[in-house]
Structure 1
């Protein structure tokens, strides 16, 4: 090693240790230098350039490698020989027990296994026990053992004496924890008796002049405490006695050697020092002493002034001096970070017994810290920088000071206490375009010395403090009754929002009767007339090209959308799920194309952005209800061609993922209308989805959602920032106005602001227009590996079917074909039913979760039926991962009655996963308002029975049922076959009996492309 060090290599050390560099004596210099170079490479030394160019001796590299391997074997052999044999813990059917037993003067730590006897743990070996796993306990015992083991190791002491200060602190903490109560026992091993009534100090007066005061701890009944074995500090202190563990008062503040009652001579105790002992142990003085004590109260004092900093930046600070005194020059107190302390002053005469009452000082140290004042120990005061929020914080500080506190403030700070300016307001509204008004506020104040400019500043501050030069701080408070503030909220205003700048409001917002209180009579009348004309302006007839009978509430929804379009507004249709938002929107689109839009714009296509799971539903409803409307669903990356093929359809349907992928191009397309279905996808205004949506160019914008507010009011701001940009102001301003947790009028104000642009109806509100039961088919498409699996299985079934020419041949081979049908249906449900290692979740699971999410947000309960139990397990995993409440019922489920009762009585939303065979009949599940049939059954009568689990006697709500179907698959054809074979549906048949009725033509229909 010394030689290597002399060569200048940083890894070498000046020692005489030998280094094996070659497998034997080098045959020549080249071998020597090559061996040395190989060593340097292994040690990552810097190798000189001339050594890098050495020729490799033949076979020498292999010999070096063998040497290195032999070296590593020797090193590891040495290392492994140093590993000691590990002790094998005795096995036991159960984890050993642990207890801490209090002896007369020390603590014993004991364990036992099973029913064996308790044995003491040798603390000197506790490290070995813990590291080798010889002691492992269950539950709380392991937690307590780990804490004790850490305590022993930290202090490096195995002292178990109850007088040990560190052990006493450890016991004090853990004796107070209820979880460990059973792990501490008394000397005889019995549970430690824990008393709830605290001990108390009894002070006996001298029985003769010049005698002693006797201090004794007693129980509440006056009985003296038996021998105190240990005391554990804390709040309250704990005393371990012969009778058990007691809470009690603080101990005497000086060491006591004798265990007998403490005797203090009257001459020593009847002094100011004696009174301090009483304060320490929180005990009232005995009557003889009480008569001589004079109680002196100290009063807190606050002095505050503003100081301009002379340093860089010139910040302003508030200096706060906190003190207390009795008013006589004595008993002065100061405050520092540690709390109150007594300042040396004029002393009392030795025989004067004065007890200081400091109760008025309580809470002030915490209040000073909470307000943000920091101690300047050198200057002897507290300080805080003056910011915009300082006035409100300082006033709150003053208001929370104890009653009677003396407060001395500099003139400018005093202005805060006198700075409230009372004001009354009225509103003026001036027309600012069709149906819009600019609203201005006119304020009258009670301080006649304020100039118009100063009043304008106060109004602009929106309720915040304003510094008006030599006047100090002022703040405008509107004198409004709670009714007046409620009326302002009904028209979307708050006193904190009013400013000198006009605000633009729509006639419908100002038409509320509440506005009459603040508007001049002539203005109020004009606004109400304009609103009435506006409401009556548009009630168009349903377009003839819409081949559906709209229910009354759906017709109202169409009229609302027509009203939005006529006024060039965007808006939100926020009906509950299942009320037909898609049909209302399609009706509106047909009206726009025929007569509602600007003539030259009517031929423009429209865009729908929706979850992938409902894309096909838009196409299906458009084809079903809208004659002549060309709808195109874009799939996968084909959507990149949308811009080039924009005229190929009247309605383009893309999903939210495609919207994000089209970020760079879709903003250049011009649409008649842009519609966001399930608008909660843009509830986060910072998300890429929301940002791209806001770039869409369209004459009309509409958001469809069943949950306009999911978690916070900002959700609605994001929806409106797409539909009507700017109507709710900027994001930060919106949060200040409407997200205040302590503002009871926030939601009413927001409702008033969006009232002209948002329509929401719940199922309960339109119940009279609904049939008792609404059923809807939801379509989704196969993609990726799921689609490949389906196509392969379908091709195999088709080839098999081609070989069958007659019904007789079918009857012989029916089992094989029915198995193929089953496999196709399973693939439609979830690819993992056929291929367990498939990583794709499947189209229907995605559609189910997207259907359930808004229902769960609305607090609904949903029944989900499937004929495949294994599939229910996969659904359960997905629902559990989202934290939704759920129940599960299959053929092997026990205690069904109890499970049903839990579902019926549970509060809030949840999902009940049910096997169609096990729970499709006989259950009463009226707590649910929605049903999802995950996969189609051969016989629709069985599906009807499933829906009837909730649609039955006792159900007071309308029921909405969804069937999830894969587009262009066997499921869609099963649905068609159900309708064709309606006669069979009149009888409840099992799957085998229904499938036995399938003819060769039926199978050819089912397996056709």
Structure 2
């Protein structure tokens, strides 16, 4: 095999680098199994994509050649290369072990006083593979440490500094690895605890680590000294900021401590303010800091210290500032005074244009005067209109408009629709007479259609489809709720034959948009509705959801879903009793009667067992049952030990005395009850004979009760069991009972008594008979 190990470097050169790299990965992952090396031959099994490939390398007259049993050419080469890498790894490991004395396995086995188990052996193999890799590449990475401990964090692709020079043995390698794990608070495998001397390894590395970190500490100390030379202010400097706003631009202004007036901030000044603020050198109020942060976007190519009022980001940012009450005195006009803020709001008014087919709209104040123009529109939660010295509140306006410079001209045809009429009404503008005459109002109502889809042949899952629709007064579907809200079912002409403008009252639609929130619905375009999976809990969810639907939402279900909303079936219970082959016992079974439906026995049992819950029947409907039982019936069944959870048809065997107690007549049919009464009249329930004077012992009170019990059983022809703790005299009670039986019979009718007992206590019974009843022949 020495010849193959020598020839491997040359043989590996025949393979592409990518093949050699993949073969190395296979060997490290343990894909080469059963490597067997004999003279002039190497055999192994390589796992490729869950397939075992048999590989053979042999030496012939022309040198070494390989073969495998896989037809794929690429996989054939990969398998051959992997075996060569595995042989090379084994040879390197054996050489290392031969030069460094006993391996780590032997040392661990000696410490444990046993051989390592398969899991421990696998970890040691993993450790040896990492060691061999370190010997080859000359360093160790985070990726290697992850193989040895899964919680090791990968922080870099650079080599780790764990040792001054590459370890010579596996044991030395483990010393360094164990120290690294210890310093990361990561536990080592329990069987390797104490194998590495962590403290000794740390002391051995102390001088090397100190020399390694010395240049870094010198650099850090030098930088610290240089930072100390920079002159920092002795106290935080107070600074005030404000924004001067005009209809053309907005500028940031500042006034530092000791200055008498505000001045414009240039780009250099903005960077200085930003730097000082980050270092804590400025004493800023909250309003000042808010303004500075709004301008800091200029450092990244944003707004900066000067904002151009062109309807873009500057206008949106300014709107945000004007909506902050705390900045009212920091936003000033060109006259350096805060903007006036009237309590009254602007409003739109309209009039017919000079030409036909136009509507002229303008903004006016509360007293009817024209608003000062131009105005900049500041959109937000509250729409503001900004003039040169005043900020007005006003109605919401078109989002793409940011400036008002005069009257707005709107074409009448654009307003001759439902949206156009709603637009004017939201602005508070009176609808022109020519349009008002054409308006016809309709009220929409909401209908929710729900039905079950056919079961999927692939997945077997079942789904219900829910469609939320808006209907007009004639019942025609006009809109349907989709994944993006309400949408018309089909494009329709607003202008009808009679030239009417239909305005629909969509108030009911707004409340119906969230009706499906109770389910995890998914919009399904193929059915133009929402799909929900039929799970085990779906019936209960659907019933509760349907009960809480808004009053103005109409629910239309198919037969299957309608069965969930139906009233529960009413089941009445009666008990049938039949006498068994013995006279003492009756067989009872519960019979459930449900009117109006024809159910199979299996379905009936499932309904009863569900205890009022929903059950999916064979016809696809869901049903539930309500048991109709009085409190007296329930109490009686509990006293008789009959569980209502038991299925109909199952037999419960009870003794006639259990039936004679309580109110069994209320649930048992008359014929069975008559048999119980007959048995009751024949029974001798008060059987308490005296103890025979021929008994050689005096019975204790509890033993007398046991004797009476046995006599009672015999008198009524019952079977029974006398049970008590060991040593309390059951044998004596039985002998007293036997004496009573013999004394009741005449000499001519005396019959033997058979005692059946284990062979080990025969002598005990014979002895007891001799003591308690010597007159009896045993």
TM-score range, shorter-chain basis? Answer: 0.3 to 0.5
Structure showing greater radius of gyration is: 2
Q: Could you tell me the TM-score, scaled by structure 1's length?
A: 0.35
TM-score by length of 2: 0.44
Greater relative CO (CA pairs within 8 A, separation 6+): 1
